[in-house]
Amino acid sequence: MFWFLPIVLLLLPVLEVHGKVPALIVFGDSTVDPGNNNHISTILKSDFEPYGRDFAGGKPTGRFSNGRIATDFIAEAFGIKSTVPAYLDPTYDIKDFATGVSFASAGTGFDNATSDVLVRDACSFA
């Protein structure tokens, strides 16, 4: 009798959950940086060609990709928006961030020494 219950539970149809994802908040490194590094003093930038050649408009956005990045596709799959904006991009405001924003920055990592090497300090690069 005890073997019967697990089999019944496996054979029950999976219930569908109809939830909505209201926003996508992103933290990470260059793999999901949509252009935050364009607005900070760092040597890690992707605001030049060939980056962005397959992006809408064909211009570099700061994404370390020739087009959209993974978080853009995820946001679109959830029906939120087609691209996730960079938090530091001045062309966006709080209304745009209500449905998703990326705080990702290329060159970040688990080791604090990474940013010590890659972020320009006004004193050391004068």
**In-domain check, residue 68:** yes
Give the CA radius of gyration of the chain: 20
Q: Which domain holds residue 102?
A: 22-126
**In-domain check, residue 17:** no
**In-domain check, residue 51:** yes
**In-domain check, residue 74:** yes
Question: What pLDDT was estimated at residue 126?
Answer: 37
Q: Rounded mean pLDDT of 39-49?
A: 88
As for how many domains the chain has, the answer is 1
**In-domain check, residue 12:** no
Share the mean pLDDT of the chain: 82
Distance CA 116, CA 18 (A): 45
Cis status of the peptide bond prior to 34, with omega within 30 of 0: no
Least confident of 11-20, 50-59, 94-103: 11-20
Q: 49 pLDDT exceeds 70?
A: yes
Question: What pLDDT was estimated at residue 43?
Answer: 85
What's the pLDDT tens digit per position in 76-123? Answer: 988 999 999 999 999 999 999 999 999 999 887 667 676 666 665 544
**In-domain check, residue 60:** yes
